[in-house]
Structure 1
Amino acid sequence: MNQYRPFGDLQGSRLMLAAFVLALANFMVVLDMTIANVSVPHITGSLAVSSSQGTWVITSYAVAEAICVPLTGWLAGRFGTVRLFVISLIGFTTFSVLCGLSTSLEMLVFCRIGQGLFGGPIMPLSQTLLMRIFPPEKQSQAMGMWAMTTVVGPILGPILGGSISDNWSWHWIFFINIPVGIICALAAIRLLKPAETDKFRLPIDAIGLGLLVLWIGALQLMLDLGHENDWFNSTFICFLAVITVIGLIAFIIWELTEEHPIVNIAIFRYRGFSISVLSLAFAFGGFFASIVLIPQWVQVNLGYTATWAGYLTATMGFGSLTMSPIVAKLANKHDPRALASFGLLLMGIVTLMRAFWVTDADFMTLAMPQILQGFAVPFFFIPLSNIALGSVMTSEMASAAGLMNFLRTMAGAIGASIAVTIWDDHAKVARTEMVSSLHTSEVQNTLVQNGMTNETALGVISNLVDKEAMTMSVDHVFFILTLVFIVASLLIWLAPKPKTKVTGPSH
């Protein structure tokens, strides 16, 4: 096994350079998921549109990417893995230029869709190619490098986006992709040619593609617009939910009976793949929910600036960077299910620590769970990815990586959306309960005696109650997320013990 070398001329420094190029390309795409989040106020101000319209800059990218990620396996079979990777890089870079040059919201949203369509395959393709170019005993370390970029990207996105928008202009959040995209495309053409896969004249599954676009589009719109439209009290949201459910069922039935499906759902026949991806979906749903909630809560309640909220989020980067290569080595020697379960339980403990936060918490109290979370993420992310890809045949790896990344992305979106809704709804309940038991007149009289007017005193009390209600609510959400991580840590034991050290059967 140790003598096995997939591609003879990809060894030593050339192999490491190829791995770096693949990881860098993945990092660029993952970074773009979150880099625009904090820049929306700058973009809406510049293009003279409302903030709710501005969120389409984020969602249009997410929808296009979510649609394209599961198509990766089919596209790789049609055009070849390396060729598709290079085409995706060129397309992504071109649309990044056009995003930066956009002069209207319509143009920017259209170009973000283009960015998402070309960016979608880069993530699973970089994963697949890393698996192809490394010998089996080194694949776990390669996955560690890949996982590091996937975890650190969303953390650095808001910091970079905020700094660039504040100090230069929002256009540069897209222009910074240009040198990275060009370097990665040229390096991929030069280095990865030996790793090209065979091409097949696959027919286009037009109905499957149409159903995929329909249900993902409806689901994403439902998640984006649900909160502001009071969810299922809105006829439009109910209509989107019906389309999502019917579209998904029709899509699954069609893809299972189609001879050349656009998405290879049959991969779920592997128990190891299905269980590890389900566990990963739970974990990423909880992980992304906290990434969305914490910056909002510290800005609204504790008066943090966007930059400082970004710094707080980034404190988890140190642990992730430190542990990724270590976990990659451990995955070769120990049962990946045990490593994943440990990582997920640690995530549960970290989340439980947050469930006791108070309104006057200092920076270190908030940062400590973030730092510990940084150490926990590689422990579940790397082994779960390894179990999933190690459960399928080599020929199905591109399809499996595409499906895994798609479900992880969707789980993140769903988790964040549900968490924000629970946070808002429970804050209203907590506020009502506090007001009903509060002796407002006594507190108001005390404040008036200290020199405040009646109106000012009432305003101060109302503000305090609002802040406490939001803190109680965010603690409530973290209790729920703790349970999600515990469930994910137990789920993974339903997967069979991997037979090979990392990425299974070489067929």
Structure 2
Amino acid sequence: MSTSQPNHPPLTGTKLALGSLCVGLAGFMTVLDSSIANVAIPTISGNLGVSGDEGTWVITVFAAANSVAIPLTGWLTQRLGQVRLFIGSILLFVVASFLCGIAPSLPILLFARVLQGAVAGPLIPMSQALLLSSWPRAKSALALALFSMIVVTGPIVGPALGGWVTDSYSWSWIFYINIPVGLLSAGMVWMLYRDRDTPTKKLPVDKVGLGLLIIWVASLQVMLDKGKDLDWFSSNTIVILTIIAAVGLVLFVIWELTDKSPIVDLTLFKQRNFLGGTVSIAVAYGIFFGTLVLLPQWMQEYLGYRAVDAGLATAPLGIFAVIGAPIMGKILPRSDARIIGTCAFLGFATVYYMRSFFYTDLSEGYIILPTLLQGIPMALFFAPLTVIILSGQPPEKVPAAAGLSTFFRMFFGGIGTSLANVVWNNRTILHHEILTQQSSPTNPMFTQQIDTYHSLLGLGKGASYALFDHTVQAQAAVMGLNDVFYGSALIMVLIIPLIWITKPKKSAAASDAAAAAH
């Protein structure tokens, strides 16, 4: 993607305010759609007659398609121009959103989400680029602080808004609301920016590289999503998908390293700042997004929360995140990004460790507290790691570095969603087996519990057994969830050394692009 500012004077006054608003709306709309469907998955699954596991594809296919599309942004920008690409992507996003809303079945909804994720690829990097071009260079830090707030609040507002819309109207409206927002944004951008487009030129596209990218990313994503349903490697389908993904990845790496015009510049990984920063931000975002999906699912399935309540319980995440974003913009230039990044990972680890002590009749306050505190590491997370990734890069490689790191972050977000569900399910099954090992008529405590159900609730034998199993399942589910959070805390600590293999340098390009990897 291109983050360099075009040779146009910055906007001023009302035009600057309106330009920032409409560009920000498009970026916010895109980020919002990566998480707005999270709390609606049970409702969507029920209405379309599919399992909850199949329903999570609504999230993962969007992330996978989005991650595939992002590396194309640089080529598309030079081919079409920033403004035309931005407006075209918004309008196609509106069309895809409409198709999502009217989808009568899961396959059609998934097709529409793939389209939506693909056309959304250029929107985040382009909204950042246009926002930078609108503000005076001296105030670029303020522009990037605004952009950081958009990126941080999108996944937070998404579950709450999605829950409210789903409960009050219909799940289709979580997609329909993009239509007026998108049309307003596209119209305003065209009015204000149509004379500020960047030059265009015809460029060859790496068709082989693009094809291999789609093959291995899609194969890996489907393998992760279908693995649980097909009993993993006992299924020929999973084995074949794994082989395709592995072979596709190897061929992709070989091709991209030898092609004259690669679609992805993998030589960036030779630079340790880029390697350490990109791997750490991708893994951390995968954990963050995966657990962000699990929490409302557990609250709805086992605590009886409505979708809107589950969403509101995750909303406090945005309080400290929004307050901290502009503060971080002032602190970061005078600080070591590695120290701030380390504090962010330790903060995440602390929050996940707190959540590893959840239990079945947990009050809402105990859910909200760690969620509120998680906003602090969120504010410390994106900008420092992005500065690490971009520091030391020559100016001509900053756009490629930002685009590639964004690709890995978004792709790991999709992987994190799949793996979090798989691990939670497997640990729940394990705990259920352990808890029911002693559940037999020869066990006096089990018999006493069944008799209690019969005497106090008037339940028959079959109903008593069913109630007991439901109780055990709820306990097993929260124990499995605790395992996921404990593992997440551990991984957050283990990836800290990746930050310290880097040697950040003061770089004007890195400072100006502090939010580029968003």
SS at match of 2:170: coil
The AA in structure 1 aligned to 2:348 is M
Partner residue of 1:441? Answer: 444
Normalised by the size of structure 2, how large is the TM-score?
Answer: 0.88
Partner residue of 1:279? Answer: 280
Contact kept? 2:83, 2:196, Cα under 8 Å: yes
Cα shift at 1:188: 2.6
The AA in structure 2 aligned to 1:293 is L
In structure 2, how many angstroms separate the alpha carbons of the residues matched to 1:414 and 1:49?
21
Two-structure CA RMSD over aligned residues (Å): 2.9
1:79-113 Cα distance to aligned partner (Å, 9 max, x none): 22333222212221233334445556555444333
Contact kept? 2:63, 2:413, Cα under 8 Å: no
In structure 2, how many angstroms separate the alpha carbons of the residues matched to 1:310 and 1:217?
29
Partner residue of 1:480? Answer: 487
Range 174-183 or range 396-405, more displaced: 396-405
The AA in structure 2 aligned to 1:472 is M
Say how many residue pairs are matched: 503
Distance 1:495 1:141, change over 3 A: farther
User: Do structure 1's residue 268 and structure 2's residue 280 form an aligned pair?
Assistant: no
Normalised by the size of structure 1, how large is the TM-score?
Answer: 0.89
Partner residue of 1:356? Answer: 357
1:207-253 Cα distance to aligned partner (Å, 9 max, x none): 11111111111112112212222222221111111111111111111
Partner residue of 2:344? Answer: 343
The AA in structure 2 aligned to 1:65 is N
In structure 2, how many angstroms separate the alpha carbons of the residues matched to 1:398 and 1:91?
24
Q: Which runs of 5+ in 2 are unaligned?
A: 514-518
In structure 1, how many angstroms separate the alpha carbons of the residues matched to 2:256 and 2:464?
63
In structure 2, how many angstroms separate the alpha carbons of the residues matched to 1:302 and 1:478?
18
Alignment of 1:226-305 (within 5 A): 226-305=227-306
Partner residue of 2:88? Answer: 87
Q: Which runs of 5+ in 1 are unaligned?
A: none
Cα shift at 1:72: 1.1
Distance 1:276 1:140, change over 3 A: farther
Contact kept? 2:167, 2:308, Cα under 8 Å: no
In structure 2, how many angstroms separate the alpha carbons of the residues matched to 1:300 and 1:275?
38
In structure 2, how many angstroms separate the alpha carbons of the residues matched to 1:472 and 1:301?
12
1:406-442 Cα distance to aligned partner (Å, 9 max, x none): 2111112222222222222222222333334578422
Distance 1:145 1:322, change over 3 A: same
User: Do structure 1's residue 466 and structure 2's residue 469 form an aligned pair?
Assistant: no
Partner residue of 1:371? Answer: 372
Partner residue of 1:392? Answer: 393
Contact kept? 1:61, 1:112, Cα under 8 Å: yes
Distance 1:446 1:421, change over 3 A: closer
Partner residue of 2:128? Answer: 127
SS at match of 1:356: coil
User: Do structure 1's residue 112 and structure 2's residue 113 form an aligned pair?
Assistant: yes
In structure 2, how many angstroms separate the alpha carbons of the residues matched to 1:249 and 1:237?
18
Contact kept? 1:342, 1:489, Cα under 8 Å: no
Contact kept? 2:215, 2:248, Cα under 8 Å: yes
In structure 1, how many angstroms separate the alpha carbons of the residues matched to 2:91 and 2:245?
32
In structure 2, how many angstroms separate the alpha carbons of the residues matched to 1:332 and 1:251?
37
Contact kept? 1:128, 1:397, Cα under 8 Å: no
Distance 1:394 1:85, change over 3 A: farther
In structure 2, how many angstroms separate the alpha carbons of the residues matched to 1:101 and 1:414?
27
SS at match of 2:510: coil
What percent of counterpart residues are identical? 38
SS at match of 2:273: helix
1:324-372 Cα distance to aligned partner (Å, 9 max, x none): 1212221122222221211111111111111122222211111110000
Alignment of 1:142-161 (within 5 A): 142-161=143-162
Distance 1:15 1:268, change over 3 A: farther
1:48-85 Cα distance to aligned partner (Å, 9 max, x none): 67766655544443333222111112222222233322
Range 339-348 or range 457-466, more displaced: 457-466
In structure 2, how many angstroms separate the alpha carbons of the residues matched to 1:437 and 1:102?
47
Distance 1:6 1:318, change over 3 A: farther
In structure 2, how many angstroms separate the alpha carbons of the residues matched to 1:80 and 1:5?
11
